[in-house]
Amino acid sequence: MKKIRKAVLPVAGFGTRVLPATKTIPKEMLPIVDRPALQYVVDEAREAGIEHFVFVTGRNKGAIEDYFDRAYELEYSLRERGKTEIYDELDAATPEAGTMSFVRQQSAKGLGHAIWCARDVIGNDPFAILLPDVLVKSEKSCLAQMIEAYEKVGGNIIAVDAVPEENVSSYGVIAPKAGRQTRSDGLIEMSGMVEKPKRKDAPSNLKITGRYLLQPRIMELLSDQAAGAGGEIQLTDAMARLMREQDFHALEYQGQDYDCGSKLGYFEAVMAYAVDHSEIGEGARALIKSHMR
């Protein structure tokens, strides 16, 4: 069983659900309190032991690469002015040289195509996928929980969490294997996935959250994957094919996810991180209470 060392972050999307803010700012760089949403996703992966990040980018996404580079003028100014605390914070967030790769998805052909664009960097290694639209707030990072599960069972793992049954038609949900129950460690053997099922047809109420651990065989399947929903190459279609060859488990992780790709989800994430912020948390809670009154 190979260690999970690499992660793919598809960041080429237009962010149409949060326009007009994303007309000039990549949606992944929208701030959640005092740092871009993407920083939280990278921090989650780092906590899980990820050593190399592959960003699949598109046009007008240069701000992402610049953000993870050194800003020498800013750093010099902070040191000269004695602002060592914020300098140390910026320095800690700066990746080591050679630990980030950026590949371009020249055309919008779907999530599956975006992941396939990272194939040469991933090589023959298992890898993580983190959708940067989704932030997961948890005591132990969601990806760290998944990697612990991977070390027990191997194969392929998808993060899931329960939603009210009346809401299942808004999500992709997993189909557990017949007669198999959730284990004490939250792992569930899977037989399939269903995209936005009707409530009466849903095989479960466990929605797919945007975190995956996949074996490299998925890249071979994506190379000849036919276009699916929306005329795009869908990752879920390739995973369904891989499921016929390899084991898949869902992990019902501990934590709360926020869909920052929608306006309400983004607003909810800002509030959730603000009230727990070490510097402004108390003030944020007071402001929210005052507005509720």
pLDDT computed for residue 50 by the predictor: 96
pLDDT computed for residue 181 by the predictor: 57
Per-residue pLDDT of the chain (293 residues; tens, 9 = 90+): 889 999 999 998 877 888 888 888 889 999 999 899 999 999 999 999 999 999 999 888 888 999 988 888 888 898 888 888 888 888 888 888 889 999 999 888 889 999 999 999 999 999 999 999 999 999 999 999 999 999 999 999 999 999 998 888 888 899 998 755 556 678 999 988 888 888 888 889 999 999 999 999 999 999 988 888 778 888 989 999 999 999 999 999 999 999 998 899 999 999 999 999 989 999 999 999 998 87
Distance CA 149, CA 182 (A): 13
pLDDT, tens digit (0-9, with 9 covering 90-100), for 42-91: 999 999 999 999 999 988 888 899 998 888 888 889 888 888 888 888 88
Domain 6-292 in CATH 3.30.70.100? no
Q: Which residues are bridge partners to 252 per DSSP? A: 160
DSSP one-letter string for the chain: -----EEEEE-----GGGTTGGGTS-GGGSEETTEEHHHHHHHHHHHTT--EEEEEE-TT-HHHHHHTS--HHHHHHHHHTT-HHHHHHHHHHSPPTTSEEEEE--S---HHHHHHTTHHHHTTS-EEEE-TTEEEE-SS-HHHHHHHHHHHH-SEEEEEEE--GGGGGGSEEEEEPTTPPPPTTSEEEEEEEEES--GGG-S-SEEEEEEEEE-THHHHHHHTPPP-GGGS--HHHHHHHHHTTS-EEEEE-SSEEEETTSHHHHHHHHHHHHHT-TTTHHHHHHHHHHHH-
Distance CA 252, CA 30 (A): 28
The residue type of 223 is: S
Model-level pTM? 0.91
pLDDT computed for residue 270 by the predictor: 95
